[in-house]
Amino acid sequence: MATLYIVGTPIGNLEDVTLRALRILKEADVILCEDKRVTKRLLDKYEIAGRELATYNEQQSGVASGKIIGWLEEGKNVALVTDAGTPGISDPGSMLVQKVREVLPDAKIESVPGPSALTGALSIAGVPVHDFVFLGFLPHKKGRETLFKEIAMSERTVVFYESPHRILKTLESLEKFAPAKNITIARELTKIHEEVKSGSAEELLKFFKENPDKVRGEFVVIVF
């Protein structure tokens, strides 16, 4: 039986990749990616060529988990990467691991840890992190209001991912339901326009409304 490697890759800055991740990507028989173009940029930078690339996104397209399980049974080592960070953290990676563990309980699945926007943001936010709740992406409709009420009541640090299309809406909800909370927004971590801003939801809303050019990129929201 071969090994399925779950490989962390950069969340922006291509230098944020471990030596082990590069070796495993160099040696893997197949590299499963979310978007081949994104992964190619990393492979090209480190002159990793000649690997078989396949897309994996169980819910959309690409090779199905059945085929990947077949590769593992044939003895092919498979490395799973996603577009950014640690596969499985709010991206398609976790479903494959679940399926492989279900169908091949003895399969070797190894973690090749690397960056994640979650840990990157928490590490620089300056809030208590010994105990936190991670919500991934918030639901767009059902349960959203209840969740904001829970966030307002929480004694723990709460972290979630947000898109530029929804960040203002989310800050409006935080202003309404959690006006007393301190919010930290970590934007574009490890990239040229990296920025961390803290304040009440009202203050941050004002900031982003006055600086619409900053309502861009990728966001992690931390509420404490």
Using DSSP's 3-state secondary structure scheme, residue 183 falls into: strand
Collapsing DSSP to helix, strand or coil, 131 comes out as: coil
Asked whether 80 and 32 are in contact (CB, 8 A), the reply is yes
- Window 161-190: contact mask with ligand SAM (x via CB under 6 A): xxx----------------------x-xxx
Binding to ligand SAM by residue 80, rule CB under 6 A? no
Q: How far is the CB of 73 from ligand SAM (least distance, A)?
A: 27
As beta bridge partners, residue 56 has: 62
Q: Does residue 21 touch ligand SAM according to CB under 6 A?
A: no
Decide if residue 97 touches ligand SAM (CB under 6 A). no
β 78-80/30-33 pair status: parallel
Give the one residue of 4, 7, 11, 204 binding ligand SAM; rule: CB under 6 A. 11
DSSP 86-98: STTSSSTHHHHHH
- Least gap, CB of 106 to ligand SAM (angstroms): 27
Task: Centre a 10 Å sphere on the Cβ of residue 78 and count the other Cβ atoms it contains.
Answer: 24
Please select the residue that binds ligand SAM; options are 25, 81, 117, 205, rule is CB under 6 A: 117
Contact at 8 Å (CB) between 107 and 101?
Answer: yes
> Per CB under 6 A, does 211 bind ligand SAM?
no
The CA distances from residue 13 to 18, 33, 186, in Å, are: 12, 18, 15
Among 30, 32, 81, 118, binds ligand SAM (CB under 6 A): 118
Q: What residues make contact with ligand SAM under the rule CB under 6 A?
A: 11-12, 82, 84-86, 89-91, 116-118, 161-163, 186, 188-191, 218-220
